[in-house]
Structure 1
């Protein structure tokens, strides 16, 4: 909820969504008559946009000097496959293997106290993500989404693990990556703010935003949805003749 409010307030501040939409009410669009029969054209299949989270994860890994920098897509893909936040998977590698610098084979997550090794990072990531998504030990985390509840099973204090430090590091990485994603989304989507645009420009905004929504994900998707509603409201205010 706090995140959604932050997104909305930022857009409202930058855009002035309630600004008056100006256009020529008396302008009548020209209508050209034609005897030619036009054939309906098939709508092109939207080309999926690159998932911005891959570049965001790669950027953080590169800053850390991680050997996993070129594998950022693995975190995003295996997280998405199992319904687990990819940023959580990145955060766990931070505390368990210093972002993969001390990985146990393909196991950069300290999974099963590093007793389990995998032939590849992809296999290791799938194992960890699937475990968090399905293992009974993590049912509490799946209910609450709280990193503390995940840590109590993943890094229990009775095993000698520094649970609070684990939580702080993992949550810190997640928050940082979320912030980066939000800033990127705003930079990329600011051009679609309705502001004082005319009716035709707002309609073009809506068409483009709806196309982007089909392949969007994460914070990018949330911002697009808010911008669509903002443009629809602006169009409604300025669309009455």
Structure 2
């Protein structure tokens, strides 16, 4: 499931025994979610160690409720938006902090190799009269792009380009899989403009600590 919303449903001043776990909302891509099912949110908590290396710690939890609109469910399948009540600490879900995360069993990827396609001209750029929008130049080694993968937006540095293949170093880990689509944007005139799209061919997977449960 791709998380597109997350929030704390507890009201200020709630008693300790009244506090409920955090809630995540999103769309199920594949599989089935059931009440009382154990889940894993990835990439989870991202931080750097003393050597500056990126570390990810998945968030392990349990589903306590499922909602579609005002309807309470016992299980949920792909299609529409689903609200998932969990046992997570509400501080992890408040103010959309889990947006871009996934409830899955996929890998945590930190570097990507993609097969990309660039647009011929920029979209959303104002032109004068019959003037055509600017052409989209080729990707260059070292430039910074913005990638949209599912509901996650992250920066990426181009490490290498060969024909229609590019190797990218992400600024933050994402949870994705081979074959997933990505959108590519470039900083043009103070704004991020869509310049193309791509498909993930390979990636470098980060190791994570095993489930403590």
Instruction: Normalising by structure 2, report the TM-score.
Output: 0.22
Larger radius of gyration: 1
**Higher RCO by CA contacts (8 Å cutoff, separation 6 or greater):** 1
Instruction: Normalising by structure 1, report the TM-score.
Output: 0.21
